[in-house]
Chain A
Amino acid sequence: MEYAISTRELTRRFGDFTAVDSLTMDIIPGEICGFLGPNGAGKSTAIRMLCGILAPSSGMATVLGYDLLRETEKIKPKIAYMSQKFSLYDDLSVIQNLDFYAGIYSISARHRRKRMQEMLELAQLTGREKDLVANLSSGYKQRLALAAAIIADPELVFLDEPTSGVSPTSRRQFFEIIKTLAEKGTTVIVTTHFMDEAERCDRIAFINQGKLMALDAPDQLKQQFIAGCMVELTPPDPINYLDQLSSLPYVKETSLHGSQIHVLLAHEEYMSQLARDCGHTPEPIEPSLEDVFIHIARLRKEGGVS
């Protein structure tokens, strides 16, 4: 199978600092791949390299079958990119922005009207064509930015934190659009800090300190990294309780989630013992992606991941 993206040891340094460190990954055509990682992990840097607007320091990659270094301009007509920062023209209207990108992607006059109409619908801005972009709310802005980016019907779409700073409703709507795109065969790379969005991706790439820590489907990741039984405790003073819990021999890991503590037990049968030791009844829970995330981040700090 030909991968949509295939990178080998792709690296980007800024001075002494390595923002993306030997990234090797293959992206399957038509999948939604979520890039997950803490701030400064190198997600945006990786995406910029794959879009051809940031030169890699070393390594190589093919995007849609083209060599990233030598055939950058052949890739561009077939990809779309939505940067982390809003990047439409604030001082132009909705339709003027769409028209501009339709022109930039050389969409023929014959198809242009129809395509722009479709994009307006996608952004839910039909009827507001003449509105100044500066006056749109952030949810509309994000959808319009996506619409402008994908106006040429690209095969591969990069979305860098498309849903940061928009309302939960807008976030859901946005992800619906992403799903629709993927169903039509478009490959989507999306970065996010939201676990619910991550859960909806086909696969997740965990990136930490420039390195790819894991790349797999959400359920696979949970199974792979969370070995044991995850339970939840709701003690009155959770923060001070953490150390005490961690010192118990059968507790593998603890983490704080608001007023709850997630405790990873070596095995299910320790549940009753935990109840006795701490005086609270633990609730067994499905491990979330966040638990996986925390687990992987810890592994990295302790210097041990295969």
Chain B
Amino acid sequence: MAADAPAALIEASSLTKVYERGGGRAGFTAVDGIDFQVRRGEAFGLLGANGAGKSSTMRMIACVSPLTGGGLRVLGHDSVTDGPAIRARLGVVPQDDTIDGELTVRENLLIYGRYFGLSWKVLRERSTRLLEFTRLSDKAGDSVSTLSGGMRRRLTIARALINEPEIVLLDEPTTGLDPQARHLLWERLFQLKEDGVTLLLTTHYMDEAEQLCDRLVVMDAGRIVAEGAPAELIARHTSREVLELRFDRLERQTMTDRCRGLVEHMEELPDRLLLSTDDGEETLGAVHRRGVRPVTALVRRSSLEDVFLKLTGRSLLD
């Protein structure tokens, strides 16, 4: 890492967003004084359930949403005063895509690029390269209405790269994609990272967060409840293994009650019971000795999902 590079590309301090509500009601606090920093070249994740404030945070960083309080510096600029200069160096993949239905696939790249003041010559070359990068070359001349959801997502990503941004903001980039398309996207994102692009992404997929993010924060109701590398968070907040039990619907309550006190932390989900433990097999034995008969029992390693459940008391995909 270059010594003269700024310590952090994104610095949020007590970042706050309150949405005004009509009818004289008090405003709604979507982001409640969060602090975090994103370093150059890293992939940083924002995790959180629906309504946690991820998109609100992303939009403030993208300088399309004024802060209500706190400070935000992006690429060394103050986001309040230097919005245009910051936006010029960002790539943005918003949660609901803003692909232009009036233009063809290729025109979407060209015309968007014009907004950054790029010449047609540069844009022709870049759009060809980006369409290849996102495997959309065959579709270049087609109307965007003929694209599938996954293709639209890829086009949005291609478009976000047209200005060769230093930071790319990806708000749920793979939601709604099939597994193959997701893996293709992950591979592309890795490639970007290798090229030195800083990534900031939100996701509901724990595997995605574990795969892609060097560091992440878990948000809940507008606050940050944990921060660290995925492995670090798992080590810090959960036991080594998890025993997952499923019960017959009629027996669920009695069986759950019998398991109480067996382990330090137990998570009751609508469809499963999760027991945190350092040795899943041994806990399973203890469960059986108490006369608990699950329909299925599964021992697995703890994951980010468990961290999330423990910290927020919520399932990510609720």
**Do A and B truly interact?**
no
